[in-house]
Chains A and B, each alone.
Chain A
């Protein structure tokens, strides 16, 4: 007999890393390291070692838009940290900010493009496997 959890443990974000300058954003490409450094710096600045310990996973990331999974209990800290941080010249040549395009507790309701269906299906399958306990 398999039991499914009523409330999932994760919270999902669709994020956009931007310089808020449309001209600059057209040419620039952000790699995973830039994303991770930005997120880590934001979490550390707001919450120090507690922020640093927040676990997040990239479901998918393509240049400026990334889909991130965070523990449900830590979502408030994550949102606050993202909203209150602007990166310095040390990270990138221009200051970068993060826009939260979408936040949801259901992976199925993530706002995706046609190209994203493949990775999303795989993530949903993984999630369902994790939630089933025997």
Chain B
């Protein structure tokens, strides 16, 4: 008997800064850089909304054929509004279609501008979970370090100093 092969995609939802008036601050801390596009996903964005948007993107960009092919096994296994991270399950052969569809989604629920960032693809749920946990730990460790970089230090650099 042929086993159904599937792939799991770990993704995060990024919220690009659409506000043009917001300028870079002088003091860049690691925390600010890492969390620049990360936000808590609003409560009204449920699993249903996300899967609907992915299906809509598939239909819009890959037509009846692409939508029918890729939607057959498409499932949102997990999504956390707090971390804006989720796990998608799809058929192994349709991984490229799904990734392209994710890339082509610009707005969630037709109003919130977002970027789907596929972080990792794996063949088992266990591995993807372990990776997600490791990644979160790494992120937390990085944020806790006091590695603030002051942009002011570059103000003293003159043209003569940069003669390499």
Contact = CB atoms under 8 A, between A and B. Distances in A.
A33 to B, nearest CB: 22
B64 A50 contact: no
Interface stretch (B19-27, B55-63, B108-116): B55-63
A44 B59 CA distance: 10
Interface residues of B, number: 8
Contacts of A46: 63-65
B62 A84 contact: no
A115 to B, nearest CB: 37
Contacts, number: 26
A46 B61 CA distance: 10
Contacts of B63: 44-48, 50-51
Interface string A44-67: 111111110000000000000000
Contacts of A50: 62-63, 66
A49 B64 CA distance: 11
Interface in B61-104: 61-66
B21 to A, nearest CB: 35
Contacts of B62: 47-50
B61 A49 contact: yes
Contact of B61 (A48, A80, A84): A48
A113 B62 CA distance: 38
Interface in B24-70: 59-66
B66 A45 contact: no
Nearest to B57: A48
Contacts of A47: 62-66
Nearest to B58: A48
A19 B80 CA distance: 51
A84 B63 CA distance: 12
B66 A84 contact: no
16 contacts: A45-B64, A46-B63, A46-B64, A46-B65, A47-B62, A47-B63, A47-B66, A48-B60, A48-B61, A48-B65, A49-B61, A49-B62, A50-B62, A50-B63, A51-B63, A84-B64
Interface of A: 44-51, 80, 84
Given A46-B63, A80-B65, 6 more contacts: A46-B64, A46-B65, A48-B59, A48-B61, A48-B63, A51-B63
- 3 residue pairs, one from A and one from B, having the closest CB atoms: A48-B63, A48-B62, A47-B63
